[in-house]
Amino acid sequence: MTWYAFIGALEQGLVYGIMVLGVYLTFRVLDFPDLTVDGSLPLGAAVSAVAITHGMNPFVSLLLAAAAGFVAGSITALLNTKLKILHLLASILTMIALYSINIRIMDGPNISLLGVPSVLDPLMALGVAGYLVAPAIYGLFALCITAGIIWFLHTELGQAMLATGDNPQMITSLGVNTHHIIIMGVGLSNALVAVSGALVAQNQGASDVNMGIGTIVAGLASVILGETVFGKSGVVRACVAVLLGSVLYRLAIALALGVKMGTFAFTPSDLNLITALLVVVALMAPKIKSKFSGNSAP
Amino acid sequence: MIRLSRFTKYFHKGSINQVLALDHLDLAVAEGDFITIVGSNGAGKSTLLNCLAGTHQPDEGRLLLHGDDIAHWPEHRRARFISRVFQDPLMGTCATLTIEQNLALANRRGARRGLAIGVKRSDRRLFRERLTRLGLGLEHRLTDGVGLLSGGQRQALTMLMATMVQPQVLLLDEHTAALDPKTARQILDLTRSIIAEQGLTTLMVTHNMRHALKMGNRLIMLHRGKIILDIQGEEKRALSQEDLVARFYDSQPEVEVSDRMLLG
């Protein structure tokens, strides 16, 4: 892998790491498999792109993207809690609805962001080498957000959220309305995903309605990879692990794309296959580990 | 304090599997009452507790707590007044959280939860002091995951959590049935001392006639969703296990007949 490819993978790993933290919140903390993210990633991109092209500060546009993501997520959660629609189905419904909504927001399938301000500008203006700007900014965002999530999961509300995913009966009998917690949690998760989408769009210079395809798979792959490699005991460790898992996932993809055997080489269209294999290997890893260490898995 | 009137609960209402779980039940619980509830399987004991806690909503009737009809309040709203311990020791605690985090969750039962840190330093002192009273050494393991504890330890922790913030009513649903006899005895002793100390109004479902007679000041026997025996005070103290079983058959002639036919 070239240095350039490595930096690229790092940058992607960090910016999508924000999305992965969102997926961690739903998938692991709330035990709520949420496919809304495939729609809320481009939603964040769309909202941010429209806001910036209308003259809004790119940093402020992130807040707007987060708010839109929160609304999308809470709609999924409302469908699940109030209308009793299965969580997976509820999230698919929101996801496909968002496809239409995103096109409405952008008034077309995509918006170009070339030549408009972005969150990368301040560092660019300082004269930092161009290829380092995005990883630095995204790294800063990812670290701050990871710290924020860790803090949140240690608050009274965050602990109630952890308990809601683990033992809803118990936390209900302690006076917590689990519906509220799920709405807030899935909303928060999608807010993060939308911010991630907005940042991606600002860097690649365009927002596109199809940029969200496969988000959930990449998110799950990163969560599982991170937990397998870096462990998952405790909130702090798990949050850092899934962020690193995102970087690891993008590195693995970059590595695979660089593989050449004779005339054979992977193409970007092979990414889905690679991702699927990666998840299977990561899921198998604990069993393989226990087999080699002589303990039979329970 | 609690008054149930014509309290009725069906399951699968309107289908051919319709079951009348509670049949126009009337019950008045006085402040400080410690009631043990016995009855055969399907008598409605757990349904009664679930209806009090809010897991089930009744089809008819009223549930007054201090004069407010709370029959249709959601479960989380009642949690401010009502606290419960389940039969399954895994139900009352969160395995993935630590002991102190579980206690902190219980310490805010019924209160608003905000963005303050979940486990505060001042909490830890209180938790340690409470845990010391259990005598299980858990006060030295505040940051251990609850998943590492045994069923008995988890049930002891659940007892503590249920009474951390003093409830107005404590519901115990066969809370020692899943434990080995020695652990069950310890949990019962703990139950008794906590209830006595806080003067809690308690309803305890049990399958163990001896426990039902030994504990509490009042005993209720349920059968097919109705109260068929309700004794307290001196009358309860004088009752023997044999008497209780006999009373059960007396009030249910058809049961006696069929049992006699079977045994004869």
CB of A140 closer than 8 Å to CB of A17:
no
Q: What is the pLDDT of residue A263?
A: 85
Lowest mean pLDDT across A121-135, B16-30, B158-172: A121-135
Region A181-195 average pLDDT: 98
**Nearest Cα to Cα of residue A144 among A202, A201, A192, A182:** A192
Q: What is the pLDDT of residue B253?
A: 55
Alpha carbon distance B99, A234 (integer Å): 13
Q: What is the pLDDT of residue A260?
A: 82
Positions of CATH 3.40.50.300 in chain B:
2-93+166-263
Residue B248 above 80 pLDDT?
no
Question: CA of A148: which chain B residue's CA is closest?
Answer: B115
Residue B49 above 50 pLDDT?
yes
CB of B74 closer than 8 Å to CB of A146:
no
Report the gap between the CA of A242 and the closest CA in chain B (Å). Answer: 18
Region B56-85 average pLDDT: 92
Lowest mean pLDDT across A101-105, A131-135, A290-294, B139-143: A290-294
Residue keyed to tokens 């399907």: B42
More confident residue, A167 or B42: A167
Which of B52, B80, B94 should be substituted to probe chain A, the one whose Cβ sees the most A Cβ atoms within 10 Å?
B94
Q: Would the CB atoms of B105 and A160 count as touching at under 8 Å?
A: yes
Residue B17 above 70 pLDDT?
yes
Residue A297 above 50 pLDDT?
no
**Nearest Cα to Cα of residue B232 among B55, B58, B28, B39:** B28
Residue B259 above 60 pLDDT?
no
State the burial class of residue B67 (Cβ atoms within 10 Å of its Cβ: 0-12, 13-18, 19+): exposed
Beta bridge partners of B171: B84, B203
Q: Tokens representing A231?
A: 């462990």
CB of B155 closer than 8 Å to CB of B176:
yes
User: Quick one: B2-93+166-263 is in which CATH superfamily?
Assistant: P-loop containing nucleotide triphosphate hydrolases (3.40.50.300)
State the burial class of residue B217 (Cβ atoms within 10 Å of its Cβ: 0-12, 13-18, 19+): middle
Q: Can you say whether residue B14 is alpha, beta or left, with left for phi > 0 and alpha for psi between -120 and 50 degrees?
A: left
The ipTM, to two decimals, is 0.88
Alpha carbon distance B231, B239 (integer Å): 9
Lowest mean pLDDT across A20-24, A109-113, A149-153, A258-262: A258-262
Report the gap between the CA of B78 and the closest CA in chain A (Å). Answer: 7
CATH architecture of A3-292: Orthogonal Bundle (1.10)
User: Helices marked H in chain B — which ranges?
Assistant: 45-53, 75-78, 99-107, 121-134, 151-162, 181-198, 209-214, 233-238, 241-250, 253-263
Q: Would the CB atoms of A156 and B118 count as touching at under 8 Å?
A: yes
Q: Would the CB atoms of A156 and B94 count as touching at under 8 Å?
A: no
Residue B73 above 90 pLDDT?
yes
The model's pTM? 0.90
A-to-B residue pairs, Cβ atoms closer than 8 angstroms: 85
Strand (E) or helix (H) holding A32: none
Of B79, B94, B113, the CB nearest to A156: B113
Name the average pLDDT for chain A: 92
Give the 3-state secondary structure of B133-201: HHCCCHHHCCCCEHHHCCHHHHHHHHHHHHCCCCCCEEEEECCCCCCCHHHHHHHHHHHHHHHHHHCCE
Alpha carbon distance B30, B32 (integer Å): 6
CB of A67 closer than 8 Å to CB of A195:
no
Residue keyed to tokens 């004779």: A262
- What's at A250, amino acid-wise? R
Which of B55, B70, B73, B76 should be substituted to probe chain A, the one whose Cβ sees the most A Cβ atoms within 10 Å?
B76
Interface residues from chain A to B (CB-CB < 8 Å): 152, 154-160, 162-163, 166-167, 169-178
Residue B251 above 80 pLDDT?
no
